[in-house]
Structure 1
Amino acid sequence: MTLSNVTLPLLKSRIFQSALVVFLAFAWAGQSQASCEKTLRWDDDPPFSMLDEEGAVVGIYVELNRAALARMGCQARLRKLPWARALKELELGRLDILPGAFRRPEREEYAHFSGTVLPPSRNILFMHQQALERWPASSLLELQHTAFRLGTQINVSYGADYQQLMSDPVFAARVVAVATRASLWKMVGKGRIDGVIADELTGAYELHQLGLDDQIKATSVVVSSDPAEVALSKRSTDPAFVQAYAKALQGLVADGSYARLVQRHLLQ
């Protein structure tokens, strides 16, 4: 059998296209290994990011995102930033990667999102023991017409019930917003506020480290359970990079790397 005059040029074209794809892939990989460096946010937010006993930055998000970058031939340059500042730096293009971000319309103006890759983590209400005895609430909305004083972090999203409460000026006046959660725990311990919204695993870890787990208790009030994503600055990353990054994260989940990180940092 012989190739027709139509089939032969088509075959040659496909061979050329395949060769070009392979060439560009190798060229990109070589370039990325030589020059690909992305800034990755961390803060004192155990077990997701923290300093270990030797002073190295570790944690679930830090190690997971470092591994994703490594699979793409890139390196991570860590930047220690509080949450509100990290969002601004992401918007300005001075921070490339922000793990643990919830997708919001205002953030989509300046950030790409990885899509849902990791299992959702619940945000719950933690309360001082005395406050819990006074207001045994089963939902955040039940606290609206009480004297309950809530502590939050600046520019952190807490779900629909929280947004509804913040539309009430009387309740909003009792909400204290600060940059770091460590300050909030101390404020609860001193009786200046009654409760804090935090990731259930992070909250339990931090309270134990601060020696406050006898005073401040986790409640059954689930404020949000939306899955967090990785936000990437639109000024410093393009959609192709974001797609490759998401695939690298998915690979780390599929091969058990993520589960092993969780096991090491949370369940031991």
Structure 2
Amino acid sequence: MVSFAVTAARQSSNPGRRLLLVMLILACSQSLNAVACEKTLRWDDDPPFSMQSIDGRVVGIDVEFSLLVLAELNCQANLRKLPWARALRELEAGRLDILPSAFRRPQRQAYAYFSGPVFPAARNILFMHQEALASWPISRLLELKNTSFRLGAQINVHYGPDYHQLMSDPTFAAQVSMVTNRTNLWSMLYRRRIDGVIADEYTGAYELQQLGLSEQIKATGIVVSSAAAEVAFSKVSNDPVFVEAYINVLRRLVEDGSYARIVQRYVTL
């Protein structure tokens, strides 16, 4: 259709009309290019990775960095708020194109491409209040076995093999406070009802800053689990050429420090 219009413009005997046609063709071409690459991107209330700011904007580490990558690829992002389980279903169906902070699983590889471990490993850290830090100078979570340490954890969250080994001990498991909301755990830790909480390194640092508890509660050097999150791409709605281009930009922006600078805007470790 565009080539037909170009031919018509060239054959027009009226110079002014020919110029107008050319301008219209260029405008249409630019408009088509502007929407040629549009990708749906998942977000949810998961600070500091994705969240809604007071002014209504969707922000966060994952959101900002994903938008930066897509901009480098001249792609427009359509942000969709989805809980995790539904996001996986939408990715499988091809109604969601890109899912940041995903962990590679065999069942997911059937319907999604993965970026590979480009990002630094996501670490679950043990956080303690000041008195607990002095009372339990440990270097590994398993050293808490046969102690009176009171741990706080979230229901249905997987914290790694050391945690599961501890929880297999009925005596220690009886000392663990299991809740659904991590904010309640920080409150319990601040009030000394528990001695420590396991949380993602970035998430814990961000939430403690927001609650004004960064001085009272500290991240320890105890890494409970560590795994590199990846970006998942729907196999239905993405082709391997786009995925490879995305990964190349992703890797470059991690290596040049762009990712680290975005992280530093949200958390101070």
Check whether TM > 0.5.
Answer: yes
Alignment CA distance shift 1:210-1:177 (3 Å): same
Q: Paired residue for 1:69?
A: 70
Q: Paired residue for 1:27?
A: none
**Counterparts of 1:149 and 1:80, CA distance in 2:** 32
**Counterparts of 2:38 and 2:202, CA distance in 1:** 33
Q: Deviations along 1:88-138, whole A, 9 cap, x unmatched?
A: 654565543332233344544554321122233432101234444443332
**Contact in 1 for aligned 2:124/2:226 (Cα 8 Å):** yes
Size of the alignment, in residue pairs? Answer: 237
Task: Tell which deviates more after alignment, 87-96 or 228-237.
Answer: 87-96
Instruction: Compute the TM-score of the two structures, normalised by the length of structure 2.
Output: 0.69
**Contact in 2 for aligned 1:37/1:77 (Cα 8 Å):** yes
Please list every run of at least 4 consecutive aligned residues from structure 1 whose deviation after the TM superposition is greater than 6 angstroms.
none
- For residue 186 of structure 1, give the secondary structure of its aligned residue in structure 2: helix
Q: Paired residue for 1:37?
A: 39
Instruction: Mark the runs of 5 or more structure 2 residues left unpaired by the alignment.
Output: 1-31
The letter of the residue matching 2:161 is: A
Instruction: Compute the TM-score of the two structures, normalised by the length of structure 1.
Output: 0.69
The letter of the residue matching 1:151 is: A
Q: Paired residue for 2:9?
A: none
- Report percent identity of matched pairs: 59
Q: Paired residue for 2:230?
A: 229
Alignment CA distance shift 1:125-1:252 (3 Å): same
Q: Where do residues 90-101 of structure 1 align in structure 2 (5 Å cutoff)?
A: 90=91, 95-101=96-102
**Contact in 2 for aligned 1:152/1:196 (Cα 8 Å):** no
**Contact in 1 for aligned 2:205/2:267 (Cα 8 Å):** no
Q: Deviations along 1:189-221, whole A, 9 cap, x unmatched?
A: 355544222233432232121022344222221
The letter of the residue matching 1:181 is: R
**Counterparts of 1:127 and 1:158, CA distance in 2:** 16
**Contact in 2 for aligned 1:124/1:199 (Cα 8 Å):** yes
Q: Paired residue for 1:262?
A: 263
**Counterparts of 1:55 and 1:187, CA distance in 2:** 30
Q: Paired residue for 1:23?
A: none
- For residue 227 of structure 2, give the secondary structure of its aligned residue in structure 1: coil
The letter of the residue matching 1:160 is: P
**Contact in 1 for aligned 2:159/2:224 (Cα 8 Å):** yes
**Contact in 2 for aligned 1:126/1:196 (Cα 8 Å):** yes
Q: Paired residue for 1:198?
A: 199
Alignment CA distance shift 1:99-1:35 (3 Å): closer
What is the CA RMSD across the aligned residues, in angstroms? Answer: 3.5
